[in-house]
Amino acid sequence: MPSRSRTPRESVRPIPEIEQRTVHAISRSTYLGHEPNITAQFATAHNPGHCQPRSAVAHVQTYYSACFIGRQSPTHACGDSAIVRALAMTSRPDEVQRLFDAKAPTWSAKYEAQGALAARRARFVKAVRDFHRPPADVLDYGCGSGSIARALAEIGYSVSACDISTGMIRMARETDARSPVPTTWIELDAKAAQLPIQDRSFDAVIASSVFEYLTDPLTTLRELRRIMRDDGCLLFTVPNTAHRVRRLEAVLAVAATRPVERVAGRLSGRLSTYISYLRLSRNRLDVAGWDRLARAAGFREVARDEVEGTRDALLMLRLRPA
């Protein structure tokens, strides 16, 4: 009797424990800002002594492509990829707002001395000091619970900080009430195209892992150029699409193009949260892509010496007005 071909629904199998452990490893590397040897971990657990890291990556790519969309997915993340276009159509500012409202109560702890993001705070403080010394005017755009803004204010900068997350701004103000620093906290309207800030107000603007979530990064860049002085600078971090972790995320992101409730039904709580992150972190451009946007918004081109951390999962780009 001839075998019956299976439909895509019948072909989807439950996610095995090994694939779940692989995604957990990728998730951890993203939040900590460094890369553990994910492929080696996968290879050892999947087939000890036999499976090489490269074949492990291929296995993950094949599995998630078949499981979630039933076809070959892009092999890397870039500004023109189908995945980036798909993610851009599946997210709204209010979803990003809810994601970070949920993270707000524990977000500051990540920036403490032994926290996962302590190095990021130091990185931004150093980058700002390289361009402008205190008491320069600095805006922290997408400030979260305010840890980087506070660090800058404590060394003499005149700091304003803004975010669309009500929960994050509340936490920043509560911390400020216990230990005041001279900082202005601004809660933004998530759907407003224009910032409530006058032209040429700041010497520097920083944005820590914000641009990947924006609905319209070009409009935001134009707004930040408007409020920046002519000798100012914009410092912002974005996912490094050339990094191996980001290439794996590009494959895993195919899951994020599916309706959230259907994906969540197959995943544990932690993995469901990570899939939501992938769906919302949709602006995965390479340096050339960010350069095109920057020049269209009135900044100079991104020079090689203005890209920091080329081996990291996060790139810091430094833009100056044209």
Structure pTM?
0.72
Asked if the structure places residue 86 within a domain, the reply is: no
In this structure, the answer to whether residues 152 and 263 fall within a common structural domain is no
Note the pLDDT of residue 257: 61
Instruction: Judge if 98 and 226 occupy the same domain.
Output: yes
Contact 51, 22 (CB under 8 A): no
Rg over alpha carbons for the chain, rounded to the nearest Å, is 21
Same domain for 168 and 259, yes or no, is no
Clarify whether residues 290 and 177 are in a common domain.
Answer: yes
Question: How confident is residue 89, by pLDDT bands cut at 50, 70 and 90?
Answer: very low
DSSP per residue over 258-286, as a string?
A: S-HHHHHTTS-HHHHHHHHHHHH------
Whether residue 299 sits in one domain with residue 151: yes
Question: Can you state the angle between helices 53-68 and 244-252, rounded to 10 degrees?
Answer: 30
Residues 118 and 45 in one domain: no
Residue 13 has pLDDT above 90, yes or no: no
79 in any annotated domain: no
297 plus 262 within the same structural domain = no
Per-residue pLDDT tens over the stretch 247-297: 888 877 765 565 554 545 555 566 667 777 888 898 999 999 999 999 999
Identify the domain containing residue 141 by its residue range: 94-240+286-319
Residue 276: predicted pLDDT: 77
* Phi–psi pair at 307, nearest 5 degrees: -120, 120
pLDDT band at 92 (very low <50, low <70, confident <90, very high): confident
Domains in the chain: how many in total? 2
pLDDT greater than 90 at residue 317: yes
Residues 6+ away with beta carbon under 8 Å from 191: 93, 94
Q: Given the structure tokens 């000890």, which residue do they identify?
A: 48
Count of H-run helices and E-run strands, the chain: 14, 7
Given this model, what pLDDT does residue 267 score? Answer: 55
Domain annotation covers residue 218: yes
Q: Which residue has the tokens 């970070």?
A: 100
Closest CA to 139 of 125, 160, 118, 155: 160
State what percent of residues in the chain have pLDDT above 70: 66
Residues 291, 208, single domain; the answer is yes
Asked if 192 and 214 sit in the same domain, the reply is yes
Alpha-carbon distance of 202 to 230, in angstroms, equals 9
Let me know if 7 is exposed, middle or buried by CB neighbors in 10 A (0-12, 13-18, 19+). Answer: exposed
SS3 213: helix
pLDDT average, residue stretch 46-54:
40
Please give the structure tokens belonging to residue 276: 């939501």
Whether residue 84 lies inside any domain: the answer is no
Exposed e or buried b for every residue in 191-225, given b needs 16+ CB within 10 A?
A: eeeebebeeebbbbbbbbbbbbbbbebeebbbbbb
Q: 24 CB contacts (<8 Å, ≥6 apart)?
A: 270, 271, 274
H runs (alpha helix) in 69-195: 82-88, 93-107, 118-131, 147-154, 166-178
The three-state secondary structure class of 294 is: helix
> Is the same domain home to 196 and 295?
yes
